Homo-oligomer: A and B are copies of this chain.
């Protein structure tokens, strides 16, 4: 086909591979699936990426890079105190939900990959995100050791679980916050503020 024009084939392959890997995981996606989705031949995928694993790692590397970029961007705002936390809760959630494939891929890696890959992920992606969130928490007045880190963890845990478990959450009786994003964000902000000693 030769599409040096507009959307290069390699990029198309990456994009479709990302969607498929996120939706079904590495093993459930075949090279044929990706070739069909990207409208190119199987062989071309091997031409560009060498192997299925190499393609997967390429996709993951790109996903991680975009994720850290997005984090830097979100954290750049500079309003103050409680309003800033409220905004951060929403921004962090938006970061997760604006690219579901990215965050699904990352959750797959975090929860189901080997311990050594966990270490890599911690350094490359989550380290920066966690550090920035921790600094935000600490800037809000609490200096007890570990409190800021724990509060940052609670923010991430809540948002990640809320987004990725929505299929189940929305069917639990009384859990209206599953579909009420504003109400949910408000409750999260509130509980984090309480934990930081503000109210």
Contacts and interface: CB of A to CB of B under 8 A. Distances in A.
Nearest to A197: B194
A122 B171 contact: yes
A112 B171 CA distance: 16
Number of copies of this chain in the oligomer? 2
Contact of A167 (B25, B118, B147, B156): B118
A114 B134 CA distance: 34
Sorting the interface of chain A by its residue count into under 10, 10 to 19, 20 to 34 or 35 or more gives 35 or more
Interface string A182-199: 011001001100110000
Given A25-B25, A157-B162, A175 B190 contact: no
A176 interface: yes
Given A25-B25, A157-B158, A187 B111 contact: no
Given A146-B187, A154-B191, A191-B191, 8 more contacts: A110-B165, A110-B167, A117-B167, A121-B168, A130-B175, A153-B169, A153-B175, A153-B177
